Amino acid sequence: MIITKIIDETSTTKRFYLKPDKDLPFKAGQYISLSLPIDPRKSRGIRHYSIANSPNADEVELVIVEKEGGKGTAYLWSLEVGDHIELGHGASGVLTINNYKKNFVFICTGTGISPFKSILEYIKEEKIETGDIHLVFGTRREENILYFTEMQELVEAIPQLKYHIILSREPWKGRQGYVHEIYKEIIDNYFQAMENGEYNELPLEFFICGWKDMVDEARKTLFDIGFDKKQVKVEVYE
């Protein structure tokens, strides 16, 4: 794949746009694997990245945060437009929607927003009717918010989409804290509305994506509340 564009998204995060050498089919919400020349043992150079744009696009967009001391990201940070990256293997991953006629809660931190941007762009482009969608995005500081402009555009285009941002490390005009308090409120409101008979009775489905600590806590919280495995889809970045 050829790098066609690199954008500095934040001081530690870059977007990479890649033109595949051959057809690269994927479903909105999936990830690809890159094979990076960072270790003599090829298998140790494999790194996974969620695809951040719609399957309708002819390029693949990745949003990657630099890891301190990380071999893969150090290599990716050395690359320039026109350089080639080898595809490890094609698309895989479980954060895909089989039935859009549900209510969805997407929970993510940092670059974990990537598969949800892909899904939302696809819903917008294909004008897919869905139940309610809540995107709950957590990060540390305002400067770390990813895809703010793109998400505003998606909110405009998808009336059933609610976009919640919560920052853990600084006060700002919005909410401060952790993603867990937001989705717990969404669940409370949902149950309350069901009791009042106000709600369209679509089943609730949760998609969680990001680094391990957040994902583990969210998954446990949802299971403790009583949701079952079929209602909770998870992709852990590690």
Ligand X SMILES: Cc1cc2nc3c(=O)[nH]c(=O)nc-3n(C[C@H](O)[C@H](O)[C@H](O)COP(=O)(O)OP(=O)(O)OC[C@H]3O[C@@H](n4cnc5c(N)ncnc54)[C@H](O)[C@@H]3O)c2cc1C
Residues in touch with ligand X (CB under 6 A):
31, 39, 44, 47-50, 62-65, 67, 70-73, 111, 114, 235, 237-238
Which candidate, 15, 108, 96, 94, places its Cα nearest to that of 61?
15
> Which CB sits closer to ligand X, 103 or 109?
109
Rounded to the nearest whole angstrom, what is the least distance from the CB of residue 67 to ligand X in the complex? Answer: 4
Rounded to the nearest whole angstrom, what is the least distance from the CB of residue 226 to ligand X in the complex? Answer: 27
**Apex 60 CA angle, 147 and 122, nearest 5:** 65
Rounded to the nearest whole angstrom, what is the least distance from the CB of residue 234 to ligand X in the complex? Answer: 10
Residue nearest to ligand X (CB): 70
> Which CB sits closer to ligand X, 12 or 185?
12
Taking phi first (over 0 means left), then psi (-120 to 50 degrees means alpha), and beta for anything else, what does residue 69 get? left
Residues 6 or more apart whose CB falls under 8 angstroms from that of 12 comprise: 65, 66, 144
> Which CB sits closer to ligand X, 5 or 101?
5
- Identity at 199, one-letter amino acid code: Y
Query: Residue 148 class from Cβ within 10 Å (0-12 exposed, 13-18 middle, 19+ buried)?
Result: exposed
Reported residue count of the chain is 238
Rounded to the nearest whole angstrom, what is the least distance from the CB of residue 62 to ligand X in the complex? Answer: 6
**Apex 4 CA angle, 21 and 139, nearest 5:** 110
- Identity at 212, one-letter amino acid code: K
> Which CB sits closer to ligand X, 44 or 220?
44
Rounded to the nearest whole angstrom, what is the least distance from the CB of residue 111 to ligand X in the complex? Answer: 4
Can you say whether the dihedral through the CA atoms of 50, 171, 165, 215 is positive or negative?
positive
Rounded to the nearest whole angstrom, what is the least distance from the CB of residue 127 to ligand X in the complex? Answer: 26
Residues 6 or more apart whose CB falls under 8 angstroms from that of 206 comprise: 104, 105, 106, 107, 183, 218, 222, 227, 231, 232, 233
> Which CB sits closer to ligand X, 104 or 116?
116
> Which CB sits closer to ligand X, 103 or 118?
118
> Which CB sits closer to ligand X, 65 or 218?
65
Beta bridge mates, 65: 13
